[in-house]
A and B are shown apart, each in its own frame.
Chain A
């Protein structure tokens, strides 16, 4: 059982800080892959086989080996260091599940927007929603095979504000995903840090 400190406030079982982070982005950009590759616990995954009911609705042509889609959300956990534990919630990408996003955003400190440069438009909604919620985020370009436009062109195409970090990653690589999450945490910290004059 959790103990209580002198102010009567319950203490956590550990002294660590837990951060709730959401991973959002369009259909098939690699959100589930990212949670799966970085999580230190068996990830909760709500993948279901894409059925013929989706013909004409889901367009998986860009991700040729994709057979399943997330119907609720992904969940995983990663301990960054002794102080910081991240709880990762991967959002579903298909429009019919977007109603879940607002609930996933509740209590979240920040978000990673995962982007596939071949289908940039898929990411607009995610960026819109995050801006609407006033939630800090960074954008990570998931490297798929194919063109690799320079990041400043991606930034322009997404109409990203200069203060939003934009990086590349490979959602299949644990270390690459971990770097993305550390960048996010650092971005969050910099937003809370007192203004420093250069």
Chain B
């Protein structure tokens, strides 16, 4: 089964329905571009969130490489007045980002996010532009 873009959109909307407090869901490429997102997010906001989430994840992975004991799952969270940003790695070359309400149960939202990645992470991808360069 290979969900097309419409099915992917539906699966993201489903995450909003299931995980209480979730407002927006976005799949982004690791180089900071939107891949698909829920309807409540405008194109401009999706572009912004994709760039922000890519930067946050990249810095988080640097922190983990510098101070951690290995490259972990690489989940990030930012809290701010009026919301929470959660990001988890998705399929190859991609991350899954969620904007949730300030009072959302973050553990619960993260659980649903990871569940979605487990189920369809293989489709939440942004493959490299060029094949890996020969060494």
Contact = CB atoms under 8 A, between A and B. Distances in A.
Nearest to B58: A46
Interface of A: 44-55, 57-58, 60, 65, 67-69, 71-72, 92, 94, 96-97, 99-100
Give the 5 A-B residue pairs with the shortest CB-CB distance, closest first.
A51-B126, A46-B58, A72-B55, A53-B29, A53-B33
A36 to B, nearest CB: 14
Given A50-B31, A71-B54, 14 more contacts: A48-B54, A49-B30, A51-B29, A51-B126, A51-B129, A52-B29, A52-B129, A53-B33, A54-B29, A58-B31, A69-B31, A72-B58, A96-B47, A96-B51
13 contacts: A46-B59, A51-B31, A51-B33, A51-B127, A52-B126, A53-B29, A54-B29, A57-B33, A71-B55, A72-B59, A96-B32, A97-B32, A99-B52
Given A65-B133, A69-B31, A51 B62 contact: no
Given A46-B62, A71-B30, A71-B31, A51 B128 contact: yes
Contacts of A50: 31, 128-130
Contacts of B56: 72
Contact of B31 (A44, A53, A99, A100): A53
Chain B at the A interface: mostly helix, strand, loop or mixed? mixed
Contacts of B133: 65, 67
A62 to B, nearest CB: 15
Contacts of B33: 51, 53-54, 57, 96
Nearest to B50: A96
Nearest to A42: B66
A55 B54 contact: no
Contacts of A54: 29, 31, 33, 129
Most chain A CB within a 10 A radius of its CB, from B50, B51, B62, B128:
B51
Contacts of A53: 29, 31, 33-35, 126
A71 B62 contact: no
A58 B13 CA distance: 29
A75 to B, nearest CB: 9
Nearest to B56: A72
